[in-house]
């Protein structure tokens, strides 16, 4: 059994401008809004499979195309080039610690736009891998009620300081901590236990700052784990999902849908 995948059928694309940036945004569905930020190399079939799953569960999904070719296979000759370009683009500030990333201004504007066009009092934002931390940074805006950080990988964890860094600026994290304390904001984080790209130290930092408002799902990928995950297991909500009850990544995806439902519906 392989991870669920899909193509671009039924998705409507249009350019959206916010925070000084313009990107195509793919939209589909009805109900409360969820901004689904793709992982590297872009809106690949696994991300589209996740998007369709959210649509099927009653959400309006907006996927910004921040990099890569929408609909292209995850493993392609362009994937490494996309990663290299993203790492040096000012919009993402891939290596910087305690830094507000310019792309988050675009994502906050998109969240506000989606919120205005969908029912409910706010929207969810799901970030994955390279974009994982962007979901939490978007929650500086009151329009975001349900940030989900799946294997957040920025800043690229080369040093202890980078591994501990929450992936956003201290000012942004302070605003989010205040929202968690006074407005009931909650966030959900997911990672595999042995994932070096998304270090556990990052979640320790976030747990220290957000307390019970930060729910962590850590899936065992240690040697001889019960479900056969390798040390390289990384993409919790896409590549590693097997649609079988009891499978940890499948159960994690269920919890994400439940979390979004609780917060937005």
Res 116 pLDDT > 80: yes
Give the model's pLDDT for residue 94: 83
- Tell me the CATH number for domain 12-264: 3.40.50.1820
247-253: long-range contacts, CB 8 A cutoff, minimum separation 24: 248/219, 248/220, 249/219, 252/190, 252/217, 252/219, 253/50, 253/53
Going by C-alpha positions, the residue among 210, 203, 96 that lies closest to residue 154 is: 96
Mean pLDDT of 25-53: 97
240-245: long-range contacts, CB 8 A cutoff, minimum separation 24: 240/3, 240/192, 241/3, 241/4, 242/1, 242/2, 242/3, 243/1, 243/4, 244/1
Among 49-58, 92-101, 205-214, 250-259, the minimum mean pLDDT is found in: 92-101
Taking the CB of residue 247, how many other CB atoms lie within 10 A of it?
A: 16
Query: In this structure, what are the phi and psi dihedrals at residue 204, rounded to the nearest 5 degrees?
Result: -60, -45
Give the model's pLDDT for residue 76: 62
Mean pLDDT of 105-132: 96
Q: pTM score > 0.85 for this model?
A: yes
Res 77 pLDDT > 80: no
Give the model's pLDDT for residue 13: 98
């Amino acid at each position: 059994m392989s991870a669920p995948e899909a193509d671009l059928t039924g998705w409507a694309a249009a350019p959206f401008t916010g925070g000084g940036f313009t990107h195509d945004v793919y939209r589909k569905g009805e109900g409360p809004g969820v901004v689904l930020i793709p992982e590297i190399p872009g809106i690949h079939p696994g991300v589209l499979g996740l998007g369709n799953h959210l649509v099927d569960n009653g959400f309006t999904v907006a996927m910004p195309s921040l990099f890569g070719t929408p609909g292209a296979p995850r493993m392609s000759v362009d994937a490494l080039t996309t990663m290299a370009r993203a790492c040096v683009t000012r919009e993402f500030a891939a290596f910087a610690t305690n830094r507000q990333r310019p792309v988050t201004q675009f994502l906050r504007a998109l969240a506000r736009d989606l919120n205005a066009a969908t029912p409910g009092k706010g929207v969810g934002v799901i970030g994955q891998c390279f974009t994982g931390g962007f979901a939490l940074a978007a929650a500086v805006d009151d329009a975001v009620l349900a940030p989900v950080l799946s294997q957040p990988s920025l800043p690229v964890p080369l040093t202890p300081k980078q591994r501990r860094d929450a992936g956003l600026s201290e000012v942004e994290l302070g605003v989010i901590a205040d929202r968690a304390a006074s407005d009931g904001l909650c966030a959900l984080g997911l990672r595999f236990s042995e994932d070096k790209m998304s270090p556990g130290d990052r979640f320790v930092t976030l747990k220290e700052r957000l307390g019970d408002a930060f729910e962590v799902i850590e899936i065992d990928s240690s040697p001889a784990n019960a479900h056969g995950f390798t040390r390289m297991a990384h993409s919790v909500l896409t590549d590693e999902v097997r649609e079988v009850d009891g499978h940890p990544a499948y159960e994690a995806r269920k919890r994400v849908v439940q979390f979004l439902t609780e917060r937005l519906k």
